[in-house]
Structure 1
Amino acid sequence: MERNWDQFLAPYEQAVSELKVKLRGIRKQYRETSQHVPVEF
Protein backbone atom coordinates (compact mmCIF):
# COMPACT_ATOMS: atom_id res chain seq x y z
CA MET A 1 0.00 0.00 0.00
CA GLU A 2 1.50 3.27 -1.12
CA ARG A 3 0.62 6.51 0.66
CA ASN A 4 0.80 10.05 -0.54
CA TRP A 5 2.67 11.46 2.47
CA ASP A 6 2.20 15.10 1.46
CA GLN A 7 -1.55 14.63 1.42
CA PHE A 8 -1.51 12.61 4.65
CA LEU A 9 0.56 15.20 6.56
CA ALA A 10 -1.17 18.31 5.17
CA PRO A 11 -3.49 18.78 8.19
CA TYR A 12 -0.45 18.79 10.49
CA GLU A 13 1.60 21.32 8.52
CA GLN A 14 0.56 24.29 10.68
CA ALA A 15 1.26 22.43 13.93
CA VAL A 16 4.71 21.36 12.74
CA SER A 17 5.48 24.91 11.66
CA GLU A 18 4.52 26.27 15.09
CA LEU A 19 6.64 23.63 16.84
CA LYS A 20 9.64 24.63 14.73
CA VAL A 21 9.20 28.28 15.78
CA LYS A 22 9.08 27.28 19.46
CA LEU A 23 12.09 24.98 19.14
CA ARG A 24 14.11 27.69 17.38
CA GLY A 25 13.35 30.03 20.29
CA ILE A 26 14.47 27.44 22.83
CA ARG A 27 17.62 26.74 20.82
CA LYS A 28 18.41 30.47 20.71
CA GLN A 29 18.04 30.77 24.50
CA TYR A 30 20.51 27.93 25.05
CA ARG A 31 23.02 29.46 22.64
CA GLU A 32 22.79 32.87 24.32
CA THR A 33 23.70 31.31 27.67
CA SER A 34 26.54 29.28 26.12
CA GLN A 35 24.94 26.01 27.16
CA HIS A 36 24.78 22.76 25.24
CA VAL A 37 21.83 22.91 22.85
CA PRO A 38 19.73 19.73 23.17
CA VAL A 39 17.42 20.74 20.31
CA GLU A 40 18.35 19.61 16.82
CA PHE A 41 16.16 19.34 13.75
Structure 2
Amino acid sequence: MQRRSFLKLGLLGACALAAGGAAYRLVRGPAPPGRFEL
Protein backbone atom coordinates (compact mmCIF):
# COMPACT_ATOMS: atom_id res chain seq x y z
CA MET A 1 0.00 0.00 0.00
CA GLN A 2 1.52 3.28 -1.10
CA ARG A 3 0.58 5.88 1.44
CA ARG A 4 2.49 8.70 -0.22
CA SER A 5 0.57 8.45 -3.50
CA PHE A 6 -2.69 8.31 -1.55
CA LEU A 7 -1.78 11.51 0.31
CA LYS A 8 -0.80 13.17 -2.96
CA LEU A 9 -4.12 12.15 -4.49
CA GLY A 10 -6.01 13.60 -1.52
CA LEU A 11 -4.04 16.84 -1.78
CA LEU A 12 -4.81 17.05 -5.50
CA GLY A 13 -8.49 16.47 -4.80
CA ALA A 14 -8.53 19.17 -2.14
CA CYS A 15 -6.82 21.63 -4.50
CA ALA A 16 -9.30 20.78 -7.26
CA LEU A 17 -12.20 21.30 -4.84
CA ALA A 18 -10.81 24.65 -3.71
CA ALA A 19 -10.23 25.80 -7.29
CA GLY A 20 -13.71 24.64 -8.31
CA GLY A 21 -15.28 26.44 -5.36
CA ALA A 22 -13.42 29.66 -6.16
CA ALA A 23 -14.43 29.49 -9.82
CA TYR A 24 -18.03 28.74 -8.81
CA ARG A 25 -18.11 31.78 -6.52
CA LEU A 26 -16.61 33.91 -9.28
CA VAL A 27 -19.30 32.84 -11.74
CA ARG A 28 -22.38 32.55 -9.55
CA GLY A 29 -21.53 35.02 -6.81
CA PRO A 30 -21.29 34.23 -3.09
CA ALA A 31 -23.40 31.19 -2.27
CA PRO A 32 -24.80 30.44 1.20
CA PRO A 33 -22.55 28.03 3.14
CA GLY A 34 -23.53 24.37 3.05
CA ARG A 35 -25.14 24.68 -0.39
CA PHE A 36 -23.27 23.72 -3.51
CA GLU A 37 -25.29 23.29 -6.70
CA LEU A 38 -23.75 22.81 -10.12
TM-score interval, normalised by the smaller of the two chains? 0.5 to 0.7
Indicate whether 1:17 and 2:7 are aligned.
Answer: yes
Q: Normalising to structure 2: TM-score of the pair?
A: 0.55
For residues 11-40 of structure 1, the C-alpha deviation after alignment (integer angstroms, 9 at most, x for no partner) is 31111000000110011000001174xxxx
- Tell me which structure has the larger Cα radius of gyration: 1
- Any gaps of 5 or more consecutive residues in structure 1? 1-10, 37-41
Cα distance in 2, alignment partners of residues 25 and 18 from structure 1: 10
The runs of at least 4 aligned residues of structure 1 exceeding 3 Å deviation read: none
Q: Which structure would you say has the larger RCO, counting Cα contacts within 8 Å and 6 or more residues apart? A: 1
Identity %: 4
Q: How many residues align?
A: 26
Measured on the aligned residues, the alpha-carbon RMSD in Å equals 1.7
Q: Normalising to structure 1: TM-score of the pair?
A: 0.52
